[in-house]
Structure 1
Amino acid sequence: MNVVQLTTGDFVAAMFSLDFVDGGFRREAVERIHRGAIDEWVSALTGSGLFSNRAVANVVRAWRSDPHILLDSLLTEADPVTAEHYRAAWGELDAASSYTVAA
C-alpha cells in the first residue's frame, strides 16, 4: 500500500484552486497576491476549521515570505493556457517592480 503524505499546501490547493480559476483570468487577483494582499485567502483558510493554528501560521508565513507560493497553489487545477496567463502577468509585475526599485 502506498501512503501519500499530504501537506497543508495540498489542502490549500484543493480548497481554493477550482474556484480561483473558474472565472477565468483575473489580473487584479495576481496584482493583489504579488503585492502581498492575501488577507482573503488567510481568512478563508482560518475560517475553514481544517487546520491547526500552527499550520495556518506556517502557511501564512510562507505566503508572506514568497507570495508566489500562494499563486502556485491557486493554479494547481488551472488549464495550461490559464496558468500561463497568470504566470506571464506575474512576470510582468516582477519586471515592473524590479524597474521601480532600480530607478
Structure 2
Amino acid sequence: MNVVQLTTGDFVAAMFSLDFVDGGFRREAVERIHRGAIDEWVSALTGSGLFSNRAVTDVVRAWRDDPRVLLDSLLAEADPVTFERYRSAWYELDAATAYGAAA
C-alpha cells in the first residue's frame, strides 16, 4: 500500500488553487503576494477551521518568509500557459525590486 503524506501546503492548494486559476490572470494579486500583502489568504485559511493554530502559524510563517510559496500553492492546478504568465509576472516584479534596491 502506498501512503501519501499530505502537507498543509497541499490542503491550501486544494482550497484555493481552482478559484484562483478560474478567476483569470490577475496581475494585482501577484503584486500583492510579491510584496507580502497576504492578509486575505491568511484570513481565508484561518476562517476555514480546517487547520490547527499551529498549522496556520507554520503556513503563514512560510508565506511571510517566501511569498512565492503562496503563489506556487495557488498555481497548483494551473495549466502551463497560466503558470508561465504568473511566473513571468513574478520575475518581472523581482527584477523591478532588484533594480529599485540598486538605485
Superposed pair shares fold, TM > 0.5 = yes
Distance 1:67 1:7 in 2: 17
1:28 equivalent in alignment to 2:65: no
1:102 equivalent in alignment to 2:102: yes
Alignment partner, residue 76 of structure 2: 76
1:66 equivalent in alignment to 2:51: no
TM-score scaled to structure 1, two decimals? Answer: 0.99
In structure 1, stretches of 5+ residues that fail to align are none
TM-score scaled to structure 2, two decimals? Answer: 0.99
What whole-Å deviation, never above 9, does each CA across 1:38-97 have from its counterpart, x for those lacking one?
000000000000000000000000000000000000000000000000000000000000
Whichever residue aligns with residue 98 of structure 1, its letter is A
In structure 2, stretches of 5+ residues that fail to align are none
What whole-Å deviation, never above 9, does each CA across 1:9-32 have from its counterpart, x for those lacking one?
000000000000002100000000
Identity, in percent, stands at 86
What count of residue pairs does the alignment treat as equivalent? 103
Distance 1:82 1:25 in 2: 7
Distance 1:23 1:62 in 2: 25
